[in-house]
Amino acid sequence: MEWHGKALVAGNSEMTPSLTLLIPAYNASATIARAVRSALAEKEVAEVIVVDDASTDNTVEVARAADDGSGRLKVLVQPGNMGPSAARNRALAESALPSETAWVGILDADDYFVAGRIAAMLAHTDAADMIADNMLREVAGREMEGRQKLLDNTTFTAPRTIDFTTFVASNVTRRGRNRGELGFIKPLMRRSFLEAHNIHYREDMRLGEDYELYARALAHGARLLLLPEAGYVSVVRANSLSGQHSEHDLQVLRDCDEDLARIEGLCAADHAALRAHYRSVDCRLQWRLLINAVKARDVRAAAACFARPYPVPFYLIRELWGQLVLRSARAVKGIGR
């Protein structure tokens, strides 16, 4: 499918949007070829930049072998393992496209596109600074079981504009709610907007770096348009790096909300959403710290977890009760054998 979308007008000249796709990769030899081919299959993509984060497997060779010969693929190698944010920032710095017309997109090395995704999104460049679509979640090795959408399409049937408050609030973890955090989305972003506001990925973050960048852009006035169509396939793996994070990673994610709160121009609702997200992440962090304290038999450290502000103590009690019920059920089941 060829795209004949709207041109952007700047002065007396018309400029067609161009797109750079960034693919950070680490030990992704099993999936990187599919990701690269998926990106190159979108004819609207002008550049595909793979940044290998010092993999210990043959990710680099597999990525290069997936080239289609169009001259659009560039494969870079980091001097050491520096994290996905550093890989993305390097790819941005290496892009050869003029920033006035350039858009930037992210594709994780495990994931791939539904054919025609980019054309459908670029048709909306006149209405936004960030354009995102719904996502499909696919469990690796269980593809025949189907895919699950990130957002419920029974209520989400038309494009909608997402503001700062809505975005941040969507990332607050709530028991009993299906995961619909907008921090997972993979939008196309207007490069000139990112550069004008000096927005880049925080390299000290290995968890939630997407959330932080999107929130920062929205705080600076970016227009985020969310489309109901699902064109990005997110492949869930048991050993995915996104599922492996330390207490330090959680602390940095939690504390980034304090940095975001310092941006001028945020309203009361924006600050309330940031506080709710901060508390949500702090609950998860304190649970991890409590587990460590119990294992180490460190009473003082355990008490410090319960001394955190509301709702942390209630969250910890609920989690402890859940663990007690689970272990009791296992014990009863074992007796019955």
15 band by pLDDT with thresholds 50, 70 and 90: low
Q: What is the mean pLDDT of residues 148-160?
A: 83
SS (H, E, C) the chain: CCCCCCCEEECCEEECCEEEEEEEECCCCCCHHHHHHHHHCCCCEEEEEEEECCCCCCHHHHHHHCCCCCCCEEEEECCCCCCHHHHHHHHHHHCCCCCCCEEEEECCCCCEECCCHHHHHHCCHHHCCEEEEEEEEEECCCHHHCCEECCCCCCCCCCEEECHHHHHHHCCCCCCCCCCCHHHCCCEEEHHHHHHCCCCCCCCCCCCHHHHHHHHHHHCCCCEEEEEEEEEEEEECCCCHHHCCCHHHHHHHHHHHHHHCCCCCCCHHHHHHHHHHHHHHHHHHHHHHHHHHHHHCCHHHHHHHHCCCCCHHHHHHHHHHHHHHHHHHHHHHHHCC
Place of tokens 């290995």: 206
Is residue 121 scored above 80 in pLDDT? yes
Domain 8-244 has CATH 3.40.50.12780: no
Place of tokens 């942390």: 312
Among positive and negative, which fits the CA dihedral 39, 81, 64, 234?
negative
Smallest Cα–Cα separation from 183: which of 211, 158, 206, 148? 211
Q: What is the mean pLDDT of residues 123-146?
A: 88
Which pLDDT score is estimated for 176? Answer: 60
Is residue 337 scored above 70 in pLDDT? no
Which pLDDT score is estimated for 327? Answer: 78
Is residue 329 scored above 80 in pLDDT? no
Which pLDDT score is estimated for 243? Answer: 54
Give percent of the chain with pLDDT exceeding 90: 77
Q: Which amino acid is at 25?
A: A
Is residue 60 scored above 50 in pLDDT? yes
Q: What is the mean pLDDT of residues 166-173?
A: 95
Which pLDDT score is estimated for 231? Answer: 96
Is residue 205 scored above 90 in pLDDT? yes
- Residues 6 or more apart whose CB falls under 8 angstroms from that of 124 comprise 131, 159, 225, 227
Place of tokens 């968890």: 207
193 band by pLDDT with thresholds 50, 70 and 90: very high
Quick one: how far is CA 302 from the chain centroid?
32
Is residue 271 scored above 70 in pLDDT? yes
334 band by pLDDT with thresholds 50, 70 and 90: low
Which pLDDT score is estimated for 151? Answer: 87
Is residue 120 scored above 80 in pLDDT? yes
100 band by pLDDT with thresholds 50, 70 and 90: confident
214-264 pLDDT, tens digit each: 999 999 999 999 999 999 999 988 655 555 689 999 999 999 999 999 999
> What gap in Å lies between CA 248 and CA 245, rounded to an integer?
8
190 band by pLDDT with thresholds 50, 70 and 90: very high
> What gap in Å lies between CA 61 and CA 304, rounded to an integer?
49
Angle between helices 247-260 and 268-296 (to 10 degrees): 160
Smallest Cα–Cα separation from 211: which of 264, 134, 118, 274? 274
2 band by pLDDT with thresholds 50, 70 and 90: very low
Q: What is the mean pLDDT of residues 87-116?
A: 95
Smallest Cα–Cα separation from 229: which of 305, 310, 121? 121
Domain spans in the chain, listed from the N-terminal domain onward: 8-244, 249-332
- Mean pLDDT across the chain: 90
> What gap in Å lies between CA 315 and CA 289, rounded to an integer?
13
Q: Using CB atoms within 10 Å of the CB of residue 263, give its burial: 0 to 12 exposed, 13 to 18 middle, 19+ buried.
A: middle
Which pLDDT score is estimated for 146? Answer: 72
173 band by pLDDT with thresholds 50, 70 and 90: confident
